[in-house]
Amino acid sequence: MADPIILHPDTEFIRDVTRGGGADMKKCFQCATCSSTCGLSTENRPFPRKQIVEAQWGMTDRLIGDPAIWLCHNCGDCTTRCPRGAHPAETLSAIRCAVIRRLAFPRFMGGVFAIPESAVAMLAFSAILLLSIALLPAPSPGSSPLVFAQMFPKTRLEPFFFAVSGWVVLALTVGAVRFAGALRRGGAEGPILSNLVPALMEIVSHRRFAECGAQQGRRWGHLLVFSAFVGLAAMGTTVGIGSMLGLMDTPIPFLNPLKLFANLCALVLVTGAAVLVWNRLKDRQARAGAVFSDWFLLILIGGAGLTGLLSEALRLTQLRAAMFFIYYTHLTLVLTLFLGAPYSKFVHFLYRTMAMAATRQESSSSGWPITRRRQSPATS
């Protein structure tokens, strides 16, 4: 006879999942339709029905160390076929958000994007920080030509953003260490470091998004945003270091290859954000399952790209008030994205990569079939 399990439900975790988009999880009565649909599910590891039960009972320790919640790409097939309307895909997304809050450093920042009040406070905090390093008032119309460094000197702005980046790296590192420990306690024993490159290659290609049925269109939106963000981060770092070392002078001429590449990345970023927003708006199910943090992040991403392009256009027109205001808005959105990276969906990239690396050995044999799709009996 199996030993009894004594449950100590984490009611706060249950509330976080419920508020984060998993309000319908109590409708689940374990019919296993979702598990018969999902390619991650095996006979020994029914996914996601096992995770839904654990969330219902507030079994936080098990879910924090469960790599399966990160192997899921929220394709939505399980929600489409759920006969009870329990929305397992949305519940898994809410579980991930709740786990992020438990892994966050510092812990009180974990829910910064969860509700409008804290998100607006983060925006205001970013705006105040930027004002503290600005030279006010901005240059008069007689100053020619007007450049953004006249309001935000490079000697202040660049070290400031590098310091913020250092803080973000620290927060991500602490979260990664906590997650690695949770994975080991959860039984994922694969070598993480040596498997990072194969896991990253799969993530960069977004191959598994192509396997989605209900929400296959999400692949292109995610791929565009991901590619553009990597490109802009690389360009920003390169130009920032070059400027601090005296190797580059900003503003960079419009026809400079670096500038052209950055503008292309910004256009791709705005396009990708628009695709993701459109996919949600046209899909009633996706629109209903989206929570505030999803929309807020999309607004930040699209807004940062759009205001970046507008800032450059307005600098060329030399419209003093408009160019400085839009640039200030752009910096505020970018800083909010940076500060919120360890606590928003951006951190999915880190935890998903680690989970895929830690289970790669198992997936190649009989454990987590991350390369296999399985049709639902209802559609076969």
SS3 sequence, the chain?
CCCCCCCCCCHHHHHHHHHHHHCCHHHCCCCCHHHHHCCCCCCCCCCCHHHHHHHHCCCHHHHHCCCHHHHCCCCCHHHHHCCCCCCHHHHHHHHHHHHHHHHCCCHHHCCCCCCHHHHHHHHHHHHHHHHHHCCCCCCCCCCCCCCHHHCCCHHHHHHHHHHHHHHHHHHHHHHHHHHHHHHHHCCCCCCCHHHHHHHHHHHHHCHHHHHCCCCCCHHHHHHHHHHHHHHHHHHHHHHHHHHHCCCCCCCCCCCCHHHHHHHHHHHHHHHHHHHHHHHHHHCHHHHHHCCHHHHHHHHHHHHHHHHHHHHHHHHHHCCHHHHHHHHHHHHHHHHHHHHHHHHCHHHHHHHHHHHHHHCHHHHCCCCCCCCCCCCCCCCC
Rounded Cα gap, residues 84 and 33, in angstroms: 10
Tell me which of 43 and 125 has the higher pLDDT.
125
- In the predicted structure, residue 371 carries a pLDDT above the cut 50: no
Is residue 94 a contact partner of residue 26, using CB atoms and an 8 Å limit? no
- Per-residue confidence (pLDDT) for residue 312, from 0 to 100: 92
Look-up: residue for tokens 């925006």? Answer: 123
Range scoring the smallest mean pLDDT among 43-47, 54-58, 140-144, 169-173: 140-144
Residues 6+ apart with CB under 8 A from 355: 67, 68, 70, 71, 183, 188
**Global confidence as pTM:** 0.87
Residue 29 burial (C-beta neighbours within 10 Å; 0-12, 13-18, 19+): exposed
Single-letter code of the amino acid located at 365:
S
- What the block records as the tokens of 206 is 């977004």
Range scoring the smallest mean pLDDT among 2-11, 13-22, 105-114, 120-129: 2-11
Residue 42 burial (C-beta neighbours within 10 Å; 0-12, 13-18, 19+): middle
> Backbone phi, then psi, for 271, in 5-degree steps?
-65, -45
* Other C-beta atoms lying within 10 Å of the C-beta of residue 132: 9
Q: Can you say whether the dihedral through the CA atoms of 40, 45, 49, 50 is positive or negative?
A: negative
Where in the chain are all domains bearing CATH 1.20.950? 109-358
- What the block records as the tokens of 280 is 């949600």
- In the predicted structure, residue 151 carries a pLDDT above the cut 50: yes
pLDDT tens-digit readout, 208-246? 776 666 566 677 888 899 999 999 999 989 988 888 888
Of the pLDDT bands very low, low, confident and very high (cuts 50, 70, 90), residue 375 is very low
CATH (one of 1.10.357, 2.40.50, 1.20.950, 3.40.50) for 109-358: 1.20.950
Distances (CA, A) of 10 to 23, 59, 104, 143, 328: 16, 6, 17, 61, 42
Average pLDDT in the chain: 86
- In the predicted structure, residue 103 carries a pLDDT above the cut 60: yes
Of the pLDDT bands very low, low, confident and very high (cuts 50, 70, 90), residue 114 is confident
Is residue 52 a contact partner of residue 46, using CB atoms and an 8 Å limit? no
Of the pLDDT bands very low, low, confident and very high (cuts 50, 70, 90), residue 367 is very low
- What the block records as the tokens of 50 is 């096992």
Residues 6+ apart with CB under 8 A from 273: 221, 225, 298, 301, 302, 305
Range scoring the smallest mean pLDDT among 6-20, 195-209, 311-325, 329-343: 195-209
Residues 6+ apart with CB under 8 A from 98: 13, 16, 17, 20, 63
Range scoring the smallest mean pLDDT among 50-59, 73-82, 181-190: 73-82
Tell me which of 250 and 335 has the higher pLDDT.
335
Rounded Cα gap, residues 37 and 188, in angstroms: 24
